[in-house]
Structure 1
Amino acid sequence: MTEPLVTLQNLEKRYGHSMAIHDVSLQLYPGEAVALVGMSGGGKSTIMRLIAGLEKPTGGRLTYQDPAPVMRVMYQDDRLLPWLTVQDNVGFGQHGQWVTDLLAAVGLSEAAEQYPAQLSGGQRQRLALARALLAKPQLLLLDEPLGALDALTRRKMQDLIMRICAERHLSSLLITHDVQEAARMADWIIVVKDGTNVYQTAGAKGQEAATVAKVGEDVLRVILDEQVRA
């Protein structure tokens, strides 16, 4: 039986007297794509920060596969270094074959000597993805990385992320407010509300557009119903 990369059991995070998340339980398996959706402030980003080790839980258990998986985070803000070229933003001074391969994988080979200010929004996010892949991670943590892109560029970036994850057998955890994006990119979708996971359903990754739309609409109804009952 395949061992999960990450397991959360009744996880809790407090900030003083404020409860950010509570009773969160989920598992992330190798090669699996999971999406967290829900209203703003529901605890999605806190869950991701805990998994990434950027925060420490105040209750429950957070365990990793042994050895612990290599993880990298990709944010909506590309966090590029404007004084470095494209290839130096990826390799931080390394100019080996791996950096060259990464630039080719994200379609930026011809822009290797350019600077971030010369790139479009989609190119900047492709560069951020290449940089996240430098350490050969097993788990990509995607914190709304496509939220600022136009619809066409966003669709292309979805395709790129899914292709690279499939080729490299990467797991991914996606935070998004776009339920259609979650349905299209995820094997599993988890609705997070008031700091806990309230609903889980299969995504529609790799399926036809009509199926993706149906899954997205069903998830949206769950989110809105939970919001109304709140």
Structure 2
Amino acid sequence: MAEPIVTLQSIEKRYGARTAIHDVSFQLYPGETVALVGMSGGGKSTIMRLIAGLEKPTSGRLAYRDPHIVTRVMFQNDRLLPWLSVQDNVGFGLRDPAVTELLAAVGLAEAADLYPAQLSGGQRQRLALARALLAQPQLLLLDEPLGALDALTRRNMQDLIMRICAERHLSSLLITHDVQEAARMADWIIVVKDGTNVYQTAGAKGQGPTVVASVGEDVLQVILQPAVTP
């Protein structure tokens, strides 16, 4: 069996007297997508920041298969540079065949000379995805990247991300509030509640809408369960 690309074991993160997450443990394997779902403030973004190396755990073990792992983050806010063209937002002035290839892969080959203000919301997120992929990351961190899109555009973006991750054998970690999105895109779904992962289940990627709906409903029930009083 392949070695996990990232391992979290009994991770805790405190900010002064406040504990953001505690006893978080899971593994992410090569080519897998793991989705973190749960209420706002439950600790999902803290987990992602730790994996991205933006924070250090207070205690526990966070280990990477490759100590020089390349990670990139795709945010809900596309963070494009409005004064640069589509081409230059990806390559920052480089006229590299890799940039042209990425724009074609995300369906923006015809828009290379346009500027962000001329793009739709879906196109802007496609551009953000291309920019994240330029460094050839081993791990793609998706921080609610589709939350601001309409339903049809969101579905198309889900398909695009899944296709590109499969073609490039990319591991990815998805934060989303949409349990149906988590079920559709992820191999594994982890419910994060009150700072810990309380539930893990297999996703329904590629198994059809009925299975996706069933998994999504099961996960939603776990999220909405009242906290157990000791």
1:67 deviates by: 4.1
1:215 deviates by: 0.4
Secondary structure of 1:127's partner? helix
1:139 aligned onto 2:134 = no
Structure 2 letter corresponding to 1:45: S
Matched residue, 1:183: 183
Unaligned stretches of 5+ residues in structure 1: none
**Cα pair distance change 1:128/1:134, threshold 3 Å:** same
Query: What's the CA shift string for 1:159-186, capped at 9, x where partnerless?
Result: 0000000000001100000000000000
Distance 1:62 1:189 in 2: 19
1:208 aligned onto 2:197 = no
Matched residue, 2:88: 88
Structure 2 letter corresponding to 1:80: L
The answer on whether the counterparts of 1:31 and 1:169 sit within 8 Å (CA) in structure 2 is: yes
1:56 deviates by: 1.0
Distance 1:46 1:156 in 2: 28
Matched residue, 2:160: 160
User: Which is worse superposed, 218-227 or 176-185?
Assistant: 218-227
Matched residue, 1:9: 9
Distance 2:68 2:207 in 1: 32
What is the root-mean-square deviation of aligned Cα atoms in Å? 1.3
Matched residue, 1:110: 110
Matched residue, 1:98: 98
Matched residue, 1:129: 129
The answer on whether the counterparts of 1:11 and 1:25 sit within 8 Å (CA) in structure 2 is: yes
Q: Percent identity?
A: 83
Structure 1 letter corresponding to 2:168: R
1:55 deviates by: 0.8
Normalising by structure 1, report the TM-score.
0.98
1:170 aligned onto 2:173 = no
Distance 1:143 1:88 in 2: 23
The answer on whether the counterparts of 1:38 and 1:192 sit within 8 Å (CA) in structure 2 is: yes
Distance 1:228 1:150 in 2: 36
Query: What's the CA shift string for 1:107-141, capped at 9, x where partnerless?
Result: 00111001101000000000000000000011100
Distance 2:103 2:87 in 1: 7
Unaligned stretches of 5+ residues in structure 2: none
